[in-house]
Amino acid sequence: MHKLIISLICCLLPAFAVAATPEIRSNAPDRHIVVKGDTLWDISAMFFKDPWKWPQIWGMNKDSIKDPHWIYPGQVIVLDRRTGTLRIGEAPAEPSDVIKLSPQVRVEASSHDAIPSIPSADIIPFLSRPLVIGKDELANAPRIVGTYEGRVILGTNDIAYVTNLPQDKGLTWQIYRPGKELVDPDTHELLGYEATYLGDATVQNFGNVSTLKISKAIEEINKGDRLVQAISTQINNYIPRAPDSAISARVISIYGGVSQAGQNTIVTINKGQRDGVENGHVLALYHKGEVIEDGGKPLALPDVRYGLLFVFRTFDKVSYALVMQTKLPVELLDIAKTP
């Protein structure tokens, strides 16, 4: 009996291995020379139908995918069709009539030259600006109490007066006002507030009432608006990968206050760090299946999968994600879960 079980396991192992290997595209090239503007996601999608299956595609383990700063323009990505993986290969041979001059200065690529996981221009504003805050965070933040010459509305280059501004937090600040509530559609828990970014300001003088100059205003700034310390923009080149655990979330906000989103749009989901969501996680998007009547009884049809999200910034209870692929418009309350 034991021999029979072992034999069955041995027979099934190859089948499991094949099932776990990402499917190669029928039109996949044998190699690709990396160019500026490429992303890790685009390169994987060029060869495979599931670009988020990163560890399998690149033959990497969990420890070796923490720092992806190792692919640069000019390198050659080679597809190994036997193993279903990608690797960095040799550059194409130069024509025989090319004359090399020596000596040459050797230039080594830095991590700043490495290609990003996803289009960085789409997410940079969300790394340093829009943020999710707790109920009392903005209430206790420095506040604009007055304006130069009693102006009602402030814009770029205007002067504002602020109370409770600490001197040890730097000279550069961002201006916000409380935005809409983020409420879990299933539990009705208040997850936080999506603060509205209004602009930037620079301190000119500290005091009981500090003086600031508005360096940039993207919306009207008023008395009562709050200040948050500016943070530096940093692109974390997280590797696309599926979560290790089963995560099921909902789209609870679409940036810009619209009800539908397309590709490269930013959405907010109702799961965050406390739920195991990490930067780099890829989630599949689903429309809730329709409920039809069958023989006089309601019958729920299966949910329809139509796209993928890439999580790039997490908070405690919510996360920001970029719509990477979609066949249909993303709608509020759509499901996002482990693919």
- Do 134 and 210 belong to one domain? yes
Contact 331/251 with Cβ under 8 angstroms?
Answer: yes
Q: What range defines the domain where residue 136 resides?
A: 129-229
| Phi (first) and psi of residue 66, to 5 degrees | -70, -35
Same domain, 266 and 224: no
In this predicted structure, what is the pLDDT of residue 20? 58
Residue 279 lies in a domain: yes
User: Are residue 253 and residue 330 in the same domain, yes or no?
Assistant: yes
55, 133: one domain: no
What is this structure's pTM? 0.76
**14, part of any domain:** no
Nearest C-alpha neighbor of 318 from the set 263, 262, 282, 271: 271
Q: What's the distance, CA 244 to chain centroid?
A: 18
Report how many domains make up the chain.
Answer: 3
What span, in angstroms and rounded, lies between the C-alpha atoms of 73 and 115?
Answer: 7
- pLDDT for residue 18: 39
Is residue 284 one of the residues assigned to a domain?
yes
Last residue of a domain, one of 62, 90, 118: 90
Please name every residue paired with 194 in a beta bridge, in sequence order, or none if there are none: 132
SS3 332: coil
In a domain, 122, yes or no: no
**Residue given tokens 């993303």 in the structure block:** 330
**315 and 286, same structural domain?**
yes
pLDDT score, position 166: 93
pLDDT at 241: 87
**Domain contains 204:** yes
Residue where a domain stops, chosen among 33, 61, 90: 90
Query: DSSP code of 24?
Result: B
Task: Indicate the residue among 34, 62, 90 that finishes a domain.
Answer: 90
208 and 252 fall within a common domain? no
**Domain membership flag for residue 159:** yes
- Asked whether residue 136 falls in the same domain as residue 203, the answer is yes
Do 259 and 170 share a domain, yes or no? no
Same domain (yes/no): 290, 224: no
pLDDT single digits (tens) 7-44: 433 443 343 333 457 899 999 999 999 999 898 899 99
Cα–Cα distances in angstroms (integers) from residue 225 to residues 40, 121, 145, 207, in the given order: 40, 28, 8, 19
For residue 121, tell me if it sits in a domain. Answer: no
Q: How many CB atoms lie within 10 A of CB 37?
A: 10
- Residue 296: give its domain's CATH number: 2.40.10.410
User: pLDDT in tens for each of the 339 residues of the chain?
Assistant: 444 444 433 443 343 333 457 899 999 999 999 999 898 899 999 999 998 888 788 876 555 555 555 788 999 999 999 888 998 876 545 554 544 444 443 444 455 678 888 888 788 778 767 778 877 777 889 999 998 888 889 999 999 999 999 999 899 999 998 888 999 999 999 999 888 899 999 999 999 999 999 999 999 999 999 999 887 666 666 778 899 899 999 999 998 777 888 888 999 999 999 999 999 999 999 998 888 888 888 888 899 999 999 999 999 999 999 999 999 999 999 999 999
Q: Which residues pair with 324 in a beta bridge?
A: none
Short-list 316, 310, 339, CA closest to 116: 310
* 133 found inside a domain: yes
What would the DSSP string read from start to end of 184-248?
Answer: -TTT--EEEEEEEEEEEEEEEE-SSEEEEEEEEESS-B-TT-EEEE--------PPPB--SS--E
Q: What is the pLDDT of residue 112?
A: 63
- Give the three-class secondary structure for 283: strand
